[in-house]
Structure 1
Amino acid sequence: MGAAAVRSGTRVAEISALTERAARAASGFASLGIGAGDVVAVYLRNDFPFFEASAAAGLVGAYSTPVNWHNSPDEARYIFENSGAKAIVIHADLWRGIEKAIPKDVPVFVVETPPEIVTAYGLSAEAAKLPAGTQDWGQWLAQFPPIQAGPAEPPGSMIYTSGTTGHPKGVRR
């Protein structure tokens, strides 16, 4: 029997590898001053980096805030600003659509859009590539050692409601 793993299309990632990458990302987040009670926005479709960034946020005591990739740039900007996101992790093709909505001085880590997502959504190969001048998520986290300790209990996530009375409301779970 093989090691526990997650599959996405033809790609397979062992849980141990995802856990190590999350621990490296946690060290990176800590180096940016991200810690207890802060927010890391995750603007990704279902992909391995979604797990990595979410787990990394928890390891430093920060909330992972998934942002619906169907949001308009204004809706995304509202969530980034309202949540107080200290970092954003985003797929390359999604970055292109909301680049101007990202608050200044918030670090952005871009993930190359994987082949199965490119195919599923009819994206061009060019749209999936990292845009020039952006910070590659994988290269960034690879430069950090895995974090050695985290909080006893990660805080969970911060989700946004549908906003029936105006703007969506952030709910810390």
Structure 2
Amino acid sequence: MLTRGHARPDAAAAEADTRTSWCPSGAAHAPESLVLGVRSGLDGQVTYLADAVPAAAVLDQIPEDIEPRRILRFASHCVTDCANRRGGDCTLVERVVAAYPAPAGGAVPRCHLRAGCQWWAQAGVEGCRRCPALATRHPADDELASLVADPDVTPEQLAAWTAARRD
């Protein structure tokens, strides 16, 4: 069952090894990968799945000519060699918080990943509220998403880019 912007907590995911951080913008093909949600064709927002679904259970159902990360949002374990990792921190969530406004209403989506989520541990509510706006793979012409995804771009550079677009 899909719920717009919210997912019922999943007991199995909550009992997962919380010593391992989970990335809510993770790899599709990692052995532990879960489908976190489905990207809406209307507004690009993620509609969270009510229950955790192993990615391996759905990947073979997607036609070969469709990039799974364009339509599904995956979660997988954070890895030490990730380009977005700086020490124990995720620089991607820092850029996400800097670049994307929090949604009106400020609701925090319910999520089966939260107990082990790196973004929640690091940025709390501010990271969680912006999570539905992201896709694991974005269209090439989405300049802001490309900048946010670039580990070399700082939150300050994102703020300057955003300010320049408002002028």
The TM-score, its normalising length taken from structure 1, stands at 0.28
Higher relative contact order (CA 8 A, sep 6+): 2
